[in-house]
Structure 1
């Protein structure tokens, strides 16, 4: 049975064209000076991309996800239970509407930052 670490390494090596395109734009703090990781383990899952500071997971879905929507819902609920926000884009959105995807990601990052600041203000000290 493949370990999560081996799976993450394999997925990094065999990225889809959409994953490669998004990774080029967000890696090394190139996007809004935010640090993203790719094929990151949040056990028992390997997520496509994550910004750990804002606990934001970015998932890219191809045609195979049409058949696994129930699994995606379970996965998303699990990640949300761990405090993560999950956003999803279709591969074809990355390839044909890239600027719109980046705008959506930018807005989500801003919203998530505000949410976390609000939650921190609500937490008793």
Structure 2
């Protein structure tokens, strides 16, 4: 079921898509167009007052690609708990993880997604 999205959230998500980090862009090239085992991912999706880096609704899987500003973030813990309470699994990867070994990140995503579908 589609959630109502405020115009400000929609605009912010749009600007984040246009100004993606290097790691987000690299990962998106592997996830877009159902390239990862036919799974449909969306990027920079506003949901429940948050902007999700990547989401696959079919697998109830959220992927977050984080920089150092997210280290030990209590807000991220609360956010993850919120979505896990809704049946999502949240995977977090560091920017450098994605940049150095995108294939390993995609394999980890695929393993979790296949276990959930």
Q: TM-score, normalised by structure 2?
A: 0.90
Instruction: State whether structure 2 residue 106 is matched by structure 1 residue 102.
Output: yes
Matches within 5 A, 1:1-125: 3-66=8-71, 69-113=73-117
Unaligned runs of 5+ in 1: 114-125
Structure 2 runs not aligned, ≥5 long = 1-6
For each residue in 1:102-124, what CA deviation from the matched residue of structure 2 results, as whole angstroms up to 9, or x when unmatched? Answer: 111111111122xxxxxxxxxxx
More helix as a share of residues: 1
User: Which protein, 1 or 2, shows the higher relative CO under an 8 Å CA cutoff with sep ≥ 6?
Assistant: 2
The aligned length equals 111
Instruction: Point out the structure with max Rg over C-alpha.
Output: 1
Distance in 2, Cα, partners of 1:86 & 1:50: 9
Q: Cα RMSD (Å) of the superposition?
A: 1.2
Deviation at 1:45, TM superposition (A): 0.6
TM-score between both structures, scaled by the size of structure 1: 0.84
